[in-house]
Structure 1
Amino acid sequence: MRKTVYLYDPVTFAPTGAYDAQESPLEPGTFLTPVHCVETPPPAVEPGQLIFFDGVAAWIVRDAPLPTAEQKLQYEIERRRLAVRQHMSAVAQAAPEHFNSISEAKSFVGTDNPLRAVSEAFQVWAAQVQTSANATLDAVEAGETALPAISDLIASLPEWVHP
């Protein structure tokens, strides 16, 4: 015999799924259930709603908070910062040396090796790119300029020149 119980996350109390509990072979009528579960299924929710267990006996449904304009802007700025890092790694991967990332491309600085010169050039270029991107995105945060499209931000960055 089985019994379905409903699991919830112990930190967020959000539902995480259903579980088919088995009847105990030693205690008929008693089911072996995991921690953080309840017998009541969570109710259906509409888009824009959140659901969580109250920690005692009931599911609670609430409207999801809408992000503020500042939160949306911060999200978009972080998307652009990530795009800049991805751009730098893509350039490093496309280089004749076929680095795995911008971090690897910069890692040969300071020791005598065949990749030292190109590594030093990548280090300088990456600093220029980061400085340029930060200046643009800092100006956006300060309200001094509009948020550029990702493609426009990437196009405005210093160009890589292989030594």
Structure 2
Amino acid sequence: MPNLPYLRAVIRETLRLHPSGPFIIRECAEDCKVNGSFVKGKSHVLINVYAMMQDPELWTNLDEFIPERFLESSDEKISEHQMEFKGQNFRYIPFGSGRRGCLGRSLAMLMMHTTIAALVQRFDWTMKGRENVDLSLGSGFGVEIEKPLVCYRITRLT
């Protein structure tokens, strides 16, 4: 996996555009002000992770799929501290943040890398009846694409 930095960048860019959980629910521990708005203690707060990772002040060309932004040579370079999934700078938090973040984030990243690498290495992929993928977003909770992407595998290695 260390020899596949572009695959890592593709997965991270995919999670930026389509986080596994686009919303996080937290309970405010005490009364506080957030951007000038009063939030009463014990209130449940819904955090829009999807919107945070689509902030035009933090990302350029935010609607475009650009995995290169996660590579070391990128103009929009993100340091290793910012790239970790602990959510310390809130620019990139696909698995939540802090002690309430997803416990399976490391396993998820390892499994995604391994599975996608094996699928790409072992098979060629084709779509029946379509040449272009329609990436328009649906109305669901998970920010999934509107029309399902159906691919067929062609075995390359035996």
Q: TM-score normalised to the size of structure 2?
A: 0.24
Structure number with the higher helix fraction is 1
When Rg is computed on C-alpha atoms for both structures, the one with the higher figure is 1
Ranked by relative contact order (alpha carbons within 8 Å, sequence separation 6 or more), the top structure is 2
